[in-house]
Structure 1
């Protein structure tokens, strides 16, 4: 009976190790996704600490991939030492993903205030292709299909609008499905109706929620790993204890 239970725990540990690879891949991709999203709009953020969950997610993913391999090795070797290392690394990863999830949750609440520099950058817009900030604004409007901070009215208070004669908004505000659009305010129906800030916030919150939910998935898989490796270590110690008793008898 004891061997049957030990064999079952070994199978569970092997399956858990494979699941650790899977959730590690998801966590790692969520970290990469957050970094890519931040890179596209980094000029609009007042701080870079929103990327901390991404780095924690990448560190967790690397450890999860290593732990998955270690778990399979420990199940095949039936080594208590390897199982103990596996258990310890699970605790380390649990701390990392818990911290990543907590910071991601906090950042979902502060992403709006973190985008405060966006208005200042819009005010400094020049339209020059040699201006990194102007290029970032145009690229964001074209990629996210948006115009201004909340809508095209935000452009009406910019210095660029006054210097350009007040006839229109940048061409990057034009809906790509209307090739005749030139940014003129006489044809506002051809402009993107939504602002960019809300779209950036939605994109960042989406990827932050991915990190939160993937961290919860890691915690659930690790819970199974804790139980399975603990049972293996207990069964191993019990079998060695009975073996010593028999030798003494």
Structure 2
């Protein structure tokens, strides 16, 4: 049994418990929390091939703050110039080592033509150091331009705000592991909602997104999410009907115009 609910903004686990109870699915909010911790990283792993295909070689890289057990941690994120999610990484520190680890993760597994030609960041010196080291190691193309234009990062900063709408109702995380697991689920489902895996969707709504997850886990498709093939009945000739052959021959077409005699 499955239930699909479209939520424009983030909600708490207790609110989800109430909504599912109203729809005949009794479940405790702590169980929903355990589901997220168990399956969100697995969804991110299995669906990475579906959504993590950069549609542009112009990247916007920035970091935002996430509170874990009362302490600020740093969520590194990269999007393309259209706002499509490329990758993310949660780090307890904000330095050149963390920036290098994130950029190396974002570049890993990409084809040569998928790697960025331009990476735009803020004025933080850590990115310049990280990119220089990655170029020396051959993980980043030498021709990649590092640009530091503030207003060009408005795309990724606006995307931070939409992600924070989902994180805010959680009211803080207890450990870095649980925070990263939850954020993985948020990021992947937001990437699907952006249409980054639209080529795999059977429908242009949340049912298509659910179908992608079902296929990734080998779940039998729901009748509501599976596109049905309409078959028309084939009309057959009755056995007692005789076939009459026609021997009429048509004259060969001429090249004369209509006005000619």
Q: TM-score range by the shorter chain?
A: under 0.3
Q: In proportion to residue count, which structure has more strand?
A: 2
Q: In proportion to residue count, which structure has more helix?
A: 1
Taking structure 1 as the reference length, what is the TM-score of the superposition? 0.25
